[in-house]
């Protein structure tokens, strides 16, 4: 993802959560004035938080009537974050923007190459993961989750309906971890719960030789507000829970894939 402005990691994650395919976002009027493009009717805006510098007024200083030469303090400025909506290129129509079209083409190229090598396998992994989830008596429901990709409640995993099969592996593992590690029942600290769930995803994906960049970003985002002295402890604690679960998932996935491969080979031989 690249954007017209410099987005904070928080905003990048916000955009990604709301519109996975976003490539370039701008505000409503910026599209019009800078690119001569128009947001299409009915397109939902993507919510981000824009920093707004605020200058504190010095009213009191101005009303000082003591006659003394007062020391003028510099205006204190602070930053407020105000919610604003932006729209992705794909949600607008109008003049072609060459630089964005090129980015889209490059990304599609990368996707095509990725699909050729791992796309099919990822689908396999997702299917095997769904098998494990069902084995544990956990239900899976697809519905519109708004800004979230996945959710766990009780013994049900919710996956956003926009997430394509084969692209849901990380979400399935993450929500599965929330349930298996009892986050939905025990009142687990939110940061602990997210670290444990996403560490599980990272361990499984790296065990399968898959890209774990999204996991790194997620873990970074959840741990950056933790006091530095406590961070290591929190991660060690999270590893304790996520490692055995990740091993269980990995074993299941590898066994399921191996069984599938064998079945396939037998079919080919039989044919």
For binding to Zn ion (CB under 5 A), which residues are involved? Answer: 197
Compare residues 181 and 197 and give the one whose CB is closer to Zn ion: 197
What proportions of the chain, in percent to the nearest 5, are helix, strand and coil? 55, 15, 30
Beta strands in 44-177 (DSSP E): 46-55, 77-88, 92-94, 139-143, 150-153, 156-160
Do 196 and 242 contact (CB within 8 A), yes or no?
yes
Tell me the closest approach of the beta carbon of residue 267 to Zn ion, in angstroms.
39
CB 170 to Zn ion: min, Å = 11
Please report how close the Cβ of residue 183 comes to Zn ion at its closest, in angstroms: 8
- In the complex, the smallest distance separating the C-beta of residue 197 from Zn ion, rounded to whole angstroms, is 5
Q: How far apart are CA 182 and CA 20, in angstroms?
A: 28
Whichever of 100 and 246 has its CB closer to Zn ion, that residue is 246
State which residue has the least CB distance to Zn ion.
197
In the complex, the smallest distance separating the C-beta of residue 171 from Zn ion, rounded to whole angstroms, is 9
- DSSP assignment of 137-174, as one string? T-EEEEE--TT-SEEEETTEEEEETTSPTTS-HHHHHH
Q: Which is nearer to Zn ion, 124 or 183 (CB)?
A: 183
Of 192 and 248, nearer to Zn ion (C-beta) is 192
180 or 197: CB nearest Zn ion: 197
Rounded to the nearest 5°, which phi and psi values hold at 26?
A: -145, 165
């Amino acid at each position: 993802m690249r954007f017209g402005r410099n987005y904070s990691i928080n905003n990048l994650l916000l955009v990604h959560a709301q519109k996975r395919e976003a490539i370039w976002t701008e505000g409503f009027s910026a599209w019009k004035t800078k690119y001569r493009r128009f947001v299409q009717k009915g397109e939902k805006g993507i919510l981000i938080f824009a920093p707004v510098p605020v200058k504190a007024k010095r009213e009191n200083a101005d009303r000082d009537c003591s006659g003394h030469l007062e020391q003028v303090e510099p205006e204190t400025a602070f930053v407020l974050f105000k919610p604003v909506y932006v729209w992705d290129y794909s949600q607008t129509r109008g003049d072609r923007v060459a630089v964005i079209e090129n980015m889209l083409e490059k990304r599609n190229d990368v996707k095509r190459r990725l699909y050729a090598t791992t796309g099919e396998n990822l689908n396999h992994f997702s299917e095997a993961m769904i098998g494990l989830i069902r084995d544990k008596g956990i239900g899976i429901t697809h519905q519109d989750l708004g800004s979230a990709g996945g959710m766990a409640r009780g013994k049900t995993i919710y996956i956003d309906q926009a997430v394509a099969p084969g692209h849901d592996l990380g979400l399935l593992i993450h929500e599965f971890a929330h349930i298996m590690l009892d986050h939905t029942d025990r009142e687990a600290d939110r940061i602990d719960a997210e670290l444990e769930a996403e560490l599980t995803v990272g361990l499984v994906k790296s065990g399968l030789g898959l890209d774990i960049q999204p996991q790194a970003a997620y873990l970074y985002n959840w741990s950056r507000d933790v006091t530095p002295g406590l961070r290591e402890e929190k991660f060690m604690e999270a590893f304790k829970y996520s490692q055995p679960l990740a091993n269980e998932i990995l074993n299941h996935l590898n066994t399921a894939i191996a069984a599938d491969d064998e079945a396939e080979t037998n079919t080919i031989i039989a044919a």
